[in-house]
Homo-oligomer: A and B are copies of this chain.
Amino acid sequence: MATLVLKFGGSSVATPDRLQRIADRIVAERRAGNDLVVVVSAMGDTTDDLLTLARAVCPDPFRRHPRELDMLLSAGERISMALLAMSIRERGEEAVSFTGSQAAIITDTMHTGARILEIRADRVREALSRGRIAIVAGFQGVSQEREVTTLGRGGSDTTAVALAAALAASRCDIYTDVDGVFTADPRRVPTARRIDDLDYEEMLELACSGAQVLHPRAVEIGARFGVPLRVLSSFHPGSEHGTRIARRERGMEELVLTGLASRAGFARLILHGLPAGMRSTAEVLRRLAEASISVDMVSEADRSDGRRQLQLSLLAESLADAKAICESVLAEQGGHGLEVRSGLARIALVGTGMHGRPGVYSRAYEVLLAAGVEVHGLSTSSISISLLVDEGQEDVALRTLHDAFGLGEGSR
C-alpha cells in the first residue's frame, strides 16, 4: 500500500462547500487503496484576517511580537484541519487531525520564518498504521524550546514535502488553483502550455523566478530527498492532469527549454568609476548583506581607464536602503556616480543543457530587439537565462520568447 501526501492550499478549503469537495477527493484516493497524509493551509483569507487583528493592537507584530504572532496565526490551520477531518469522517473513513506540534515537526526558534530541523511524526505513523487518514496542519511547527513556530512564506508546501520525505512517501501531490506548471503564465501568454514533466532543478528555477505554483523551499526538500511531486488542480476533480516533478534522465547534451517565469518589481543600480579589482565589489556586497538586502544579479566590468563598473539588480522594496549604501561606498572609494533604474521585470528562460550555449542568448536578444524590447541586464545559471526588461514590456517579452523558443501549444 502506497503512502501519499496530499497538500491543499487556502483557496481549496476556503468554504465548507469546497472543504467537502476536497473530502470527496480524499476519500476517493483512500478507497483506491492508498495510505494518506493530508496537509492543509488555513481557510481562504483566515491568515490575513488574523494579521489584521494583530495590526489593530500593534503596529509591527512581525518584529515586535513574533512569538505571539505565531501563536495567533497557528489558529488558522486548526480550524481547516478539524473541519476537514469531520468532513472525511462524515463520509465513513477514519480521519484524525494533528497540529504541527502533535506531528512533531521540530523547527529552529526563528519565529514567523522557522526552518524545519526534523520531523518525527510518530503520531502520524501510528494513525496510518491504524488505517486512519492523517490530517496535518501546514505552515506550523514546534521549536526545540517547545514554542509554536510558523514557517513563513510557502510554509504549507514545505510541510507537505518534508512530511513526504520523513515518511518515505511514494509521492507528494500539491493541489492548487491551477492545472499544473505552465511554460509561461497563461494570463500573460495565451499560448502557454501545461508542462507534463519537470526536473527538480527546472522547477526550482521556475519557482525562484516567479512561478507562484510551488514554493522553492518545498522543491529543494523534494530534490534533496528525491520525493516525486505532482502539481495539480483541486478544482478539476477526476482530471489526471498536472505536472510531475522528479529526477529525469536526459540525453547528455540535449537542450530542453522548459518554460518562462517572470517577476516585476526589480531595480537596477550601476556604480560607475569604482577602483579596479575585486575589493570594491566585495565591499559593496558585504555592506548590502549586513543590511539584509538580497542582490539578484551582479555583473562587473573593468574599463580601460582602470576603473570598475558594478551593476546590481534587486527588489525595489530594498532600493532606498541599497542606494544609500552604494552612495556611501562610492564616496569613500572616490567613485564617479550612481545610475538607478527601477520599474523592471525579470524574465527567466528555464531549461536544462542551456549552459554555455551562446545560441540561446543570441536568439533571445535578436527576437527581443526585433520586438522593440530593451534588455537592461542579464545573467545566467546552469539552467536558466534571466533578462531585465521594463515592466511595461514584460508581456511582449514573454510572448516573444515563448513563440521564438517554440514553447506554445502543439509545438512539442
Interface residues of A (CB under 8 A from B): 16, 19-20, 23, 50, 53-54, 56-58, 61, 64-65, 67-69, 71-72, 74-76, 78-79, 81-83, 85-87, 89-90, 96-97, 99, 101-102, 123, 146, 148
Q: Complex: how many Å from CA A313 to CA B269?
A: 84
Q: Which residues of B contact A101 (CB under 8 A)?
A: 101
Is B102 touching A146 in the complex (CB atoms < 8 A)?
A: yes
Given A75-B75, A78-B75, A79-B75, A68 and B85 contact (CB-CB distance below 8 Å): yes
Pair B72/A78 contact, Cβ less than 8 Å? yes
Note all chain B residues with C-beta closer than 8 A to A123: 146
Contact of A65 among B67, B72, B76, B85 (CB under 8 A): B85
Given A67-B96, A96-B67, answer yes or no on A83-B72 (Cβ-Cβ < 8 Å). Answer: yes
Complex CA distance for A96 and B23, rounded to whole angstroms: 37
17 inter-chain pairs at a CB distance below 8 angstroms, sorted by A residue, are A16-B56, A16-B57, A20-B57, A23-B57, A50-B79, A57-B83, A57-B87, A64-B86, A65-B85, A65-B89, A68-B83, A68-B85, A68-B89, A69-B82, A71-B97, A72-B82, A78-B78
Expressed in whole angstroms, the Cα–Cα distance for A99 and B102 within the complex equals 13
Inside 8 A of A78's CB, which chain B residues have their CB? 71-72, 74-75, 78
Across-interface contacts of A58 in B (CB, < 8 A): 86-87, 89-90
Q: How many angstroms from the CA of A19 to the CA of B20 in the assembled complex? A: 35
Given A58-B90, A90-B58, are A79 and B53 neighbors across the interface (CB < 8 Å)? yes
CB atoms of A64 and B82 under 8 A apart: no
> CA of A76 to CA of B146 in the docked complex: distance in angstroms?
20
A71-B97, A102-B146 are known contacts. Are A83 and B16 too (CB-CB below 8 A)? no
B67 touches A83 (CB 8 A): no
Kindly provide the distance from the CB of A135 to the nearest chain B CB, expressed in whole angstroms. Answer: 9
| A67: chain B residues within 8 A (beta carbon) | 96
When C-beta atoms are compared, the residue in chain B nearest to A79 turns out to be B75
**Per a CB cutoff under 8 Å, which of B61, B85, B97, B148 touches A86?**
B61
A405–B59 Cα distance when bound, in Å, is 56
**Distance from A218 Cβ to chain B, minimum over Cβ atoms (Å):** 25
Residue of B nearest to A78 (CB): B75
Are the C-beta atoms of A97 and B68 separated by less than 8 Å?
A: yes
Question: Given contacts A16-B53, A75-B75, A75-B78, are A90 and B68 in contact (CB under 8 A)?
Answer: no
Complex Cα–Cα for A72 and B135 (A): 13
How close is A72's CB to chain B, nearest CB, in angstroms?
A: 4
B89-A64 in contact (CB<8A) = yes
Return chain B residues, CB-CB under 8 Å to A16. 53, 56-57
10 shortest A-B CB distances, which residue pairs? A16-B56, A72-B82, A75-B75, A71-B82, A75-B78, A68-B82, A65-B86, A68-B85, A57-B87, A58-B90
Distance, CA A101 to CA B20, complexed state (A): 30
CB <8 Å contact, B53 and A83: yes
A85–B50 alpha-carbon span in the complex (Å): 14
